[in-house]
Structure 1
Amino acid sequence: MSTETRLDRLEAQAAIADLVHAYARAVRRDEPEKVGAMFVPEGTFEVRSGQPDKAEYEVRSRYETPEALVAFLVGQKGGPHPVPLIHNLMIEVDGDRATANSMMAAPIWGTDKEVFGEYHDSFERRDGRWLFSARIYTVFPG
C-alpha cells in the first residue's frame, strides 16, 4: 500500500471517528439542529430492537431523510434524552465509502433509565467531507 493510500485511509478514519463523536455530542448536548448537516441529503436513520447475537430484529422507527430525523429530535428537545457513550468504534474505508461498527451505552438524562446497543453506520465522502449515508442503531433488550 502506498504512503498516499495509507495516509488517506488514516485521515478518513480520523474524520469518520470525529463525525461519530460529533453526533454523540450533539445528542448529549440536546442540540438536534446540528445533526442534519452530518448526513448526505438522502441519508437515513433507523432504530431497531434485537439481540446482540442474532440476525432477527424489529424496526422501531425509520427516518428517510436527515430533515425527518431532525424534526423528530427537535420535537423531543428539552426532554429526557440519551447521553451517548461510544465504545469499540471500528472503521473500514474503501475509497470514498466507509462503514463502521460501534457500541453505545447511554444513560437517559432526566430519568433513571439507560439504553445499550450497537451502531452499524455507512459513510460517503462528498466534496472532501465525510458524512453519514445511513445509521442503524439496534437497541438490545434489558
Structure 2
Amino acid sequence: MNTQNIVERLDALESRFALERLSAAYNQAFDNRDEALLRSIWHSDASLLLGDAFGNYTGIEAIIESAHKNWQQMPYMHHWMANPLIDIDGDGATGQVALHALVTHVELGPVQISGLYHDRFERRDGRWAFTERRFELHYLTPLANWKPVAGTEAAPQT
C-alpha cells in the first residue's frame, strides 16, 4: 500500500471539508450577524464581489463594512447553499455553490435571492480561507403578500 497516496487522499478529504465549512460559515456569519466569524473566513487580501446589486469589496475591513451595510438594508437573512463543486489543487482550490436566500429588505419587504457563488480559496500557513468570492445573481424578487405566521420572525398575532 502506498502511504503517500493515503496521505494525499486524507489531505484532499480534510481540505474539502474545510472548504465546505467556509461556505457554511459565510451563511452563518451573515444570517447571525457574527462579525468575528465573518472575519475568520478570509485571507487579508481577499475580495467579495457581489456585483451591481450589492457591491464589490477587497480586504477584510471592506468586507466587514459591506456586511454592516447589508445588515442595515436586510435585517433578516436566511442563506441556503447547495450543490457545491470544489476542485482542489495542492494549496489552491476553486468552487461553485448555488445560493437561495430569503431576506427582509427594509424597502422591498420579503425578498427571494438566487444565484451562484464562484469561489477561490488558498491554504496559507495551513489555514484554508477565501481569496475571492464572486456572486452571479440569477434573480432578486420581492415576495408580495409573504408573511411568516409562526416562528421567531413572525409578527405577534393580535
Instruction: Please classify the TM superposition score into its range, dividing by the shorter chain length.
Output: 0.7 to 0.9
| Cα deviations by residue, 1:3-34 (Å, 9 ceiling, x for unpaired) | 11111101100011111101111111122343
Q: CA deviation at 1:72?
A: 1.9
- Partner Cα distance (2:54, 2:103) in 1: 18
Of 75, 79, 82, the residue aligned with 1:87 is 82
Partner of 1:38: 41
Partner of 2:98: 103
Q: Which runs of 5+ in 1 are unaligned?
A: 49-57
Identity, % of aligned positions: 26
Matched residue type, 1:11: E
Please tell me whether the aligned partners of residues 33 and 70 of structure 1 are also in contact (alpha carbons under 8 angstroms).
Answer: no
Please tell me whether the aligned partners of residues 25 and 37 of structure 2 are also in contact (alpha carbons under 8 angstroms).
Answer: no
Map 1:12-23 → 2, pairs under 5 A:
12-23=15-26
- Partner Cα distance (2:135, 2:70) in 1: 18
Partner of 1:117: 115
Please tell me whether the aligned partners of residues 31 and 79 of structure 2 are also in contact (alpha carbons under 8 angstroms).
Answer: yes
- Partner Cα distance (1:120, 1:35) in 2: 18
CA RMSD of aligned residues (A): 2.0
- Normalised TM-score (structure 2): 0.76
**Compared CA separation, residues 24 and 130, structure 1 to 2 (3 A):** same
Confirm or deny that 1:70 pairs with 2:68: no
Q: CA deviation at 1:128?
A: 1.1
- Partner Cα distance (2:103, 2:126) in 1: 35
Partner of 1:129: 127
Partner of 1:139: 137
Partner of 1:55: none
User: More relative contact order in 1 or in 2 (CA 8 Å, sep 6+)?
Assistant: 1
- Normalised TM-score (structure 1): 0.84
- Partner Cα distance (1:66, 1:130) in 2: 15
Larger gyration radius, structure 1 or structure 2: 2
Q: CA deviation at 1:133?
A: 0.4
Query: Which aligned segments of 4 or more residues in structure 1 are displaced greater than 6 angstroms?
Result: none
Q: How many residue pairs were aligned?
A: 133
Please tell me whether the aligned partners of residues 87 and 103 of structure 1 are also in contact (alpha carbons under 8 angstroms).
Answer: yes
Q: Secondary structure at the match of 1:90?
A: strand
**Compared CA separation, residues 31 and 79, structure 1 to 2 (3 A):** farther
